[in-house]
């Protein structure tokens, strides 16, 4: 089955926990899942695993910036039943299109997880390609501090100032992130403090 499903949401919505649960469910049914994540994400170190905030973890394959998902998959001895891709927003446009193409050409099902937009409210390129082309879109919801659904994220420093410097892909550092609804996001960016 060539179905591509995209679970999108903002930060801290529990996407990684859902991903690990999905991998577990496939294994429990005797099926073979493969988890892939872009190697740009170094939060779990270099041991190639995915860890969620609630303490679960799974080994995974790392996708380098110059590799393609089809390249990784065609190197495997056995075709997986499902390919689960984390942090899809860190893929390049070329890698996202390769994923969509591979799904059709090799009748391979994918479940992808990632952010829809960055902290300035701008789309990630790979995410917008998935939004435009995935067979199924599923929103992973979390709540803003005002109680509405959070759809945006802000990045702020320890002193509470909002980080307005623009670098879409930045991992680690001294910033923190908070998910908000679009109304609180707009007011917070204008105010300049969390």
- By annotation, the residues acting in catalysis are 87
Residue written as token pair 């999108």:
8
What CA–CA distances, in Å, run from 30 to 24, 41, 52, 80, 130?
Answer: 10, 29, 23, 11, 28
88 is in an annotated binding site: yes
Q: How many CB atoms lie within 10 A of CB 152?
A: 24
When asked if residue 22 is in the footprint of Zn ion (CB under 5 A), the reply is no
Q: Does residue 177 have a known ligand-binding role?
A: yes
**Interface with Zn ion includes 153 (CB under 5 A)?**
no
Q: Which of residues 67-86 bind Zn ion (CB under 5 A)?
A: none
183 DSSP assignment: H
Choice between 132 and 146, CB closer to Zn ion: 146
Per CB under 5 A, the list member of 146, 164, 169, 171 interacting with Zn ion is 146
Decide: is 154 part of the binding site for Zn ion (CB under 5 A): no
Q: Which stretch binds Zn ion (CB under 5 A): 71-79, 90-98, 106-114, 142-150?
A: 142-150
Handedness of CA 154, 86, 27, 46 (dihedral sign): negative
Encode 161-179: b = buried (16+ Cβ within 10 Å), e = exposed: ebbeeeeeeeeeeebeebb
φ, ψ of residue 104 in degrees (nearest 5): -75, -50
Compose the 155-194 pattern: x for residues touching Zn ion by CB under 5 A, - for all others.
--------------------------x--x----------
97 is in an annotated binding site: no
- Supply angle C-alpha 43, 16, 110, rounded to 5: 115
For the bound state, the minimum distance from the C-beta of residue 185 to Zn ion, rounded and expressed in Å, comes to 8
Which residues fall in the annotated binding site?
A: 9-16, 86-89, 144, 146, 169-172, 177, 181, 184
Binding stretches for Zn ion (CB under 5 A): 144, 146, 148, 181, 184
């Amino acid at each position: 089955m060539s179905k591509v499903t995209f679970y999108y949401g903002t930060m801290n919505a529990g996407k990684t926990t859902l991903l690990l649960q999905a991998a577990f469910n496939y294994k429990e049914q005797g099926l073979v899942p493969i988890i892939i994540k872009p190697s740009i994400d170094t939060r779990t170190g270099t041991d190639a695993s995915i860890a969620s905030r609630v303490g679960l973890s799974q080994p995974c394959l790392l996708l380098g910036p110059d590799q393609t998902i089809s390249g990784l998959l065609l190197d495997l001895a056995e075709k997986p039943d499902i390919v689960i891709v984390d942090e899809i927003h860190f893929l390049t446009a070329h890698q996202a299109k390769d994923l969509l193409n591979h799904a059709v050409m090799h009748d391979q099902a994918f479940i992808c997880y990632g952010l829809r937009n960055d902290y300035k409210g701008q789309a990630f390129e790979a995410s917008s390609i998935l939004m435009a082309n995935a067979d199924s879109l599923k929103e992973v919801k979390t709540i803003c501090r005002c109680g509405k659904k959070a759809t945006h994220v802000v990045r702020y420093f320890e002193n509470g100032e909002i980080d307005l410097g623009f670098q879409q892909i930045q991992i680690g550092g001294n910033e923190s992130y908070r998910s908000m609804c679009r109304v609180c996001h707009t007011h917070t960016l204008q105010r300049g403090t969390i």
